[in-house]
Amino acid sequence: MRGLHWSLSSTSDSHKTGKHTRAGQHQNAPSVGKSLLRLLLILVAIDGLKAIIAVDPRFWGRTEAESQVDPPSLALFPPPEQIYRSITAFLVIYLAVQLVTTCGILLFVHTLGPSVVGTWGLSWTHAPAFGDLSTIATRGLRGFWGIWWHQFFRLTLEPPSSAAARLFVSDDKGSAAKALRMVTAFFLSGAIHACGSYTMWGASQPRKTFYFFALQSAGIIVQTAVARAYEAYPMVARPSPPICRLVNVFFTVHWLLITSPLLVGDYARGGLWLAEPMPFSPLALVGFPRRSSTGLLWADLGISWYWGDRWWQSGLAL
């Protein structure tokens, strides 16, 4: 994740005061009341999505269903069931990120405070995890990944990407250098997520996760090349701005839909969609299918406290 101070954050976000957000503007974290309300809404939404996943064996990583959740070739026109599963998986990931950041605000800002955790306890150090959604319409797939989606790994990915551009391209500010930085960042991001896939309990295939992120750079290159081709030929009528924005949104959504089976299928085989981020399910009490009809989702995990020979060897054990 990005550091809190300007010397550890990306160039575009740096400020003399060190108080910055993703948009480069001063913004405080939500109040404790708003944070608790947001946490409640996130948990309810996750519970509903998990109820959907519980009745769809394609999310369970079943061998006999593998051809449905992870087709051998990516379809240019995804079938409706693939679209529904991709959207469901996307919402789960999006809400999981929001859950982590909201819990972080409640813990660091509203519980511990700066007297315990230092600058992490200051409200302005917790910027929104996601950026401006309208950048997808103006910048397409590049805006989705570079501005709107969370930037937790940006501090990790920027230095090696910039180093690769300086090493292999003479003009490190030209279009070739920008393309190399972008491709390098996505390849490294794919490698990071593939490592996470490798550590899953199930029979995951980390290369599929890597392919998903690598293909995002290909999509950005394709979209950028088409846009520049229009600019290079003035005799071709340029679409109106609303049409351009609509095309950007369509291409972004379509590219994510045709590549997402790589990620969704790998996570299904690894068992990620079966993980329970919350210990209690209200929907299970009213009859929705969950792993426990009593609503206690962690009761069978065998969670206990382990006492080691030293204090640092003690903790929760599964």
| pLDDT the model gives residue 20 | 44
pLDDT, one tens digit per residue, over 103-149 is 999 999 999 988 998 888 888 888 888 999 999 999 999 999 999 99
Measured between alpha carbons, how far is 56 from 91 in angstroms, rounded to an integer? 16
pLDDT along the chain (318 residues), means of 10: 44 42 56 92 92 88 51 71 94 94 92 89 85 93 94 88 89 87 95 95 93 96 89 73 93 95 94 85 75 66 80 82
Closest CA to 213 of 228, 196, 200: 196
Sorted by sequence, the CB contacts under 8 Å of residue 60 that are 6+ apart come out as: 268, 273, 274
Sorted by sequence, the CB contacts under 8 Å of residue 226 that are 6+ apart come out as: none
Q: pTM of the prediction?
A: 0.82
| pLDDT the model gives residue 256 | 96
| pLDDT the model gives residue 294 | 64
Sorted by sequence, the CB contacts under 8 Å of residue 222 that are 6+ apart come out as: none
